Structure 1
Amino acid sequence: MSDDPVEYVVENKPCLVSLEEGKKYAWCTCKLSKTQPFCDGAHKGTEHRPMVFKAEKTEDVLLCACKATKSGPYCDGAHNNLEDVYAEASDAEILSMKDSVQIDQDANGKALVDGGAYVMTPNDKNDTVVGNLRYQPVIAKEDGATKLSLHRLTVSAGTTKWMEYEGVDTVLYFVSGAGTVDIAGREFNVDKEAGLYVRPGEKFRVITDEEMVIYATACPLLTDLTVTDDNETTFQTEQEERYIAFDEATANVMANRIYQELVDKKVGSNEVTQFIGQIPKSRAAMHRHLYEEAIVILTGYGKMWTGTKVTEVKTGDVLFLPHRQGHSVECTDEGGMQLMGVFYPSGSPAINY
């Protein structure tokens, strides 16, 4: 593909298209087509040629329109780095949502906004207690989730019983505290700001000398946590590496934001991706994802906008975003905001439309 400058005829964001299994498509590489993201022959007379590909299955996908992707024809989030500042809400967008209804949390700590999205503050009173383990669901089928189950686990000093989300991938994130996680007989030393992957068919337990707060994601089936006295499972040695810690020095830069994928395909998690991100004081442009997402606010505060409604968010809150639900997180904290996110199906948090 040539790097010669040419005129853009589309915005620097991907195009949502529906592909049909077995059908061939010609993806524009010259940026001149008026039928983006597909070729209309406008490249004739230039050195550009379209990329022809066959759809492997019938599905909705995001095809690159900025032509900066390294995964053509698919968007890889490269459009976010074409500007110095991550796409922020325009004056027109802010004006269009000036009459958004302020939604406060109800008696259960939940603020329900547009499209089934919500913000909630976990309440210790909702915990189930088993020995030195306290846990509660914060995203479940009853909340409108179709793929992601999310639990908050609070562990005090000692050794928990064995835990399992049967038959699904499990991803742990350590909010606070340090200790050891025993995955079916294999021990991992863990600390805050890190993720750990537990394969289907493995039980795990936590050993610690201090209080730990952990978020556990189970995917792709909505599954409750089971707690038992015994472990009859075996650590699956075909995937030895499971633990990934946040490292700001090697994090991905996305305009004026950074993020790092923790648990993903590199440690064998093919269903769910976990990431940690940092955002400055700003209001993102409204956007959508082709995945179901959960976000935990680790530090900072602000608002979440969903089109006709808005609600406050703060440290410790959990955000649930259904598939394709428009949203914009605004950080109003001068110190910025740090968050942990998980989503299904797996991919990159930089890909949106």
Structure 2
Amino acid sequence: MTQVAPSPADDVRPAPTPADPQVEYAPLGPDSLTWQIWGTWTGMLQGLWAGSIQNMHPKLGQAVWDHSDFFGERWQRLLRSLYPISGVVFDSVAGAETGHEVRDYHRTVKGTMPDGSRYHALDPDVFYWAHATFWYGNVRLCERMGPWLTEDQKRLLFEESKAWYAQYGVSMRPVPDTYEDFLEYWDHMCRNVLRDHESVRTVLDISLLPPPPFLRFIPKSIWRKHIAERNAKFFLWLTTGFYDEPIRELMNLEWTERDERMFTLLGRVVNLVMHRMLPKRYLRHPRPRDAWDRVQGRVPMNAPLVETPTRNLPPVDERDNPMHYCPMHAARRATYPGRVDGD
């Protein structure tokens, strides 16, 4: 597997070390539990949790603050990023190496911390933390919103997360050995490493955001006056429910027994509607749905990947930036729910 080899000046060592487990991991496929439960639109309920807890890592938060226009085009960046993020898991059936693509977006993301130390997005400990929030966010979402998981299924998801992470072609050194080891790692990060940061607070404050693209029919004046503030309060409450208690304390966010009861009730409703009543195929994001369509014969195995709608592309002056996923000339492009142009 190709390994990243940045210059020594970057202070990053993603290449194998003697401590690296030299194990070849096959890409995950439709028989995996990750394929079964990940990649659905229910993940949007957890979007603020994922974005904020990632940025609580001091180096990752600083990198986002220094390099990302995330705060200038929040909706577009989020919605287009879902394609390569989910593609790391699902694109292998189309012969794509999306993990390497995602890794390469981060090659030039480096800089200096306030204390003068260096950071790089491909620092193994930084890059693994981002991955940990993806795969463990899957567990946390299932714990709170369904489908409910057994402890054995959580352990299986952890083992599958190793194969998922291996697709990036970076050092496996930070990966814990067992699920129990991972839980210790997660608790240590929450209690001792993660920090409040301007990038975290900016992610959590969505009160000034315009309507998301799928609600563009709502006039901005009505959105700002009647919806935006209520929407922001609800999603902050929702995000607080997903946080571990040490993170709530870090962020000074109150969580009462009543909040927990309301959150549990909401989780049961979401599980009933999203996982028992709605057709699974249309609950999936376009990229995972396309992968399932391939293995089920709906789409040829050699068809081009489904790419993000043009409305989600980066600003014109940023489209040549190597940090961006920017499919300008896609043969197949998602448009509206359940529709793909080019089929």
Short-chain TM bin: under 0.3
Q: Which has the higher helix share?
A: 2
Q: Which has the higher strand share?
A: 1
Per the normalisation by structure 2, the TM-score is 0.21
Per the normalisation by structure 1, the TM-score is 0.20
Larger Rg belongs to: 1
Higher relative contact order, structure no. (Cα contacts within 8 Å, ≥ 6 residues apart):
2
